[in-house]
Chains A and B, each alone.
Chain A
Amino acid sequence: MKLWKTILAAAMLSLAASTSAFAARTDLVIGIPLEPPHLDPTAGAAAAIDEVLYANVFEGLTRIGPNGEVLPDLAESWTISDDGKVYTFKLHTGVKFHDSTDFNADDVKFSLDRARADNSVNAQKGLFAAIDKVDVVDPATVKVTLKNPQGSFLYNMGWGDAVIVAPESAETNKEKPIGTGPFKFQSWAKGSSITLVKSDTYWGTPASLDKAEFRIVPDAAAAVPALLSGDIQAFPFFDPDSVAQVKDDPRFKVVIGSTEGETILSINNKKPPFDKLQVRQAISYALDRKAIIDGASAGLGQPIGSHMSPANKDYVDLTGRYPHDVAKAKELLKEAGLEKGFKATLKLPPPGYARLGGEIIASQLRDVGIDLEIIPVEWAQWLDQVFTKKDYDLTIVSHTEPNDIDIYSRKDYYFNYDNPAFDKVIADLGVTSDEAKRKELLGQAQKILADDAVVGFLYELPKVGVWDAKLQGLWENAPIQANDLTKVKWSD
């Protein structure tokens, strides 16, 4: 009897010990769907690279905050010359890279010069195009001179592709990333997981977590049991279709936020009959966005009427420009001399929004007499045939880069859209830093795209996050593709 009591007491004690250990938990396993090809944000376009490393391991002069705002990062402050061409950054001092080398103005110069060099393979080299020269004033001051004023310069410097790297480690960052952030890289079991641990030498507010493991879970069906079993505690980018399985479970929080992903039905504007405005407008009238969002995105995601996220401060609501109107669409096709309808192809890349959305759109366009042949393609094929060779009629894709309305003014971009009036607005925007003026120009740009029905604007991709209800500080929205863990902690 006495023995039993002892055992019971011991069991209670160990239980108490384990629950208190649980309350003070400082580790986290996060599920991500795609494995990064390597770990250098300055040498690849894959979003998965930033989703692991941005803000956690690597930092830039500025950074993008949870709601898309520009915040100081390694640069503690800055001044801009009156002509808007010279940016003088005051850097934090006492900052060390994870390999114990010092961070100073030389590293900034090195990083920016490397990104814009002739032989640079930075995937977003355009971010640095306006830079004329970078000068080191003193170890804590850097002066960046632009060729012309650029309204988005500070924002650009906050991208993952613009993080500051050290000359000693730049070449090996792909395998062993060395940054200045609150977490340092520990290990990468390829195909399986990437582990970060807290950096003891961090210059700013230290992270609450001691260890964060990013585990690669490619199959959406596997994500639910991984959460339920407690193996993985957070999926910041969860499959919308699986939300129903966890949304009533009090152990988890389902957080629906916004992204910068404009999901659009891209149209080849030079290919007949899509070169006719009436045909493109007819397509816009034929689309029923609500049905598409319900079918392709489990009812989550906000409709858009132009190329701008509704979460953006410069957003103009143009969803009323082309309400769903089959009769109007048929009328426009008749005006274009296509009352008998026509056939076209719709190439669909692998994501669910495209494959599911494509079938719905094909049926909606069939109602107005446009007969679509659906052709599923992989990403590599899509980039090759659709994006590079422009061999397509229609396709569905989500443009996830933030503030990317300028893509419509790019020469030779796959939309094949060419409107000098629009190009002018974008050119003006490039040299305007006044907030009010920028807002007006961005409004104009959105309106021109909607009027020209350049593409079929569908909806803003939602960010569906599911995580343990006791977990705090993960981003609700995705203004850029990142999993910022700097403020993440477990509540008691």
Chain B
Amino acid sequence: MTAYLLKRLAIALATLLLASMVVFAVLEILPGDPARLMLGMNASADQVELLRNQMGLNAPLAWRYLHWAGGLLSLDFGRSYTYSVPVIDLVRERLAVSLPLALIALALSTIIAIPVGLFSASRRGRAGDTISMGAAQLGVAVPNFWFALMLIYVFAVWLRLVPAGGFPGWSAGIGPALKSLLLPAVALALPQAAILARVTRSALIEVLNEDYIRTARAKGLPYRTVLWRHALRNAMIPVLTILGLQFAFLLAGTIIIENVFYLPGLGRLVFQAITQRDLIVVESVVMLLVAAVIAVNLLVDLSYAVVDPRLRSRQ
């Protein structure tokens, strides 16, 4: 187990190093000058050059990479060109929105998807299965910004239960803050739940065809026990994989939903930073996300070992 862990950690570190080089190189190639963007169309070339010097953009490429990567090692993520505040402060503010939002959405999607998947798999081919999988198909197909707008019109404009968008901040109290995250979480969770339900169903169906399930049924165990104790547990590995991927997506890939609800999340920070060529913010946030994805994957790998004892003993 220790060897297994060490190997995974080494791979994780190598991935981080490689990612830092790729991220840095890609953003350097991207056309566009942050100084010109800040100064606009009326500034002279000399002025742009002056600002480039002030921003440290004229230093050699290798030096800038080492400076940045070295900073990352000591957890110094640099200063935003446009906002001129430490990147870590920006990220912390945005995570206060994105992390709870991702967790709520993930919880919602799991709570909906697992029972639906179980239900469908156990009624395979029957009317209940057809209806719930049809609904799941719809959930995957409906564009989430459209679904989000429908939610806004019903719950914010018509019923006036929640605000149409925006985030009052946690300082406004847990109630108002959670209220403003509710609709976006639902909008995010539904398509994810639809995918997860389908994966759960197919994984379960595969497991239900296994010999040991027949054996369990043959020795007289009730169907419910077989389904929950034997089948679901063995079907968890693909489900956990999908959950891990979904979490990474929900953390930063939710720019469309953040825009519709004008939430100050991580996705919008990255998007804004790209359009303003706030390279240091993009680089550092992308690295943080890479680290988060690697960490989540590591956790998922470890959780395989928890659900599947064979993986534990094999190492």
Contact = CB atoms under 8 A, between A and B. Distances in A.
Contacts of A229: 152, 156-157, 160, 163-164
A218 B163 CA distance: 16
B269 interface: yes
Interface stretch (B14-22, B42-50, B68-76, B206-214): B42-50
Nearest to A413: B41
A250 interface: no
A308 B54 CA distance: 36
Contacts of B156: 225, 229, 231
A231 B165 contact: yes
Interface in B261-288: 261-265, 268-269, 272, 275-277
Contacts of B259: 218-219, 222
Interface in A207-223: 215-219, 221-222
B253 interface: no
Contacts of A174: 84
Contacts of A401: 41-42
A331 to B, nearest CB: 35
A94 interface: no
Interface residues of A, number: 43
Nearest to B55: A121
B85 A45 contact: no
A380 B145 contact: no
B166 A193 contact: yes
B289 interface: no
Interface string A102-121: 00000000000000000111
Given A121-B47, A222-B165, A215 B262 contact: yes
A112 B153 CA distance: 50
Given A384-B33, A387-B41, A215 B54 contact: no
Interface in B1-50: 30-34, 36-45, 47, 50
Interface string B79-112: 0001111000010011000000000000000000
B296 interface: no
A366 interface: no
B275 A120 contact: no
B83 A38 contact: yes
A228 B39 contact: no
Interface string A156-188: 000000000000000000110000000000000
Interface of B: 30-34, 36-45, 47, 50-51, 54, 82-85, 90, 93-94, 145, 149, 152-153, 156-157, 160, 163-167, 169, 259-265, 268-269, 272, 275-277
Interface of A: 35, 37-38, 44-46, 119-121, 123-126, 174-175, 189-193, 215-219, 221-222, 225-226, 228-229, 231, 378-381, 383-385, 387-388, 399, 401
The 9 closest A-B pairs by CB, nearest first: A45-B40, A380-B32, A191-B264, A37-B82, A192-B264, A229-B164, A219-B259, A225-B164, A228-B157
19 contacts: A38-B82, A46-B38, A121-B54, A123-B38, A124-B42, A189-B167, A192-B169, A218-B262, A228-B164, A229-B157, A229-B163, A231-B164, A378-B32, A379-B37, A379-B275, A380-B34, A380-B276, A388-B33, A401-B42
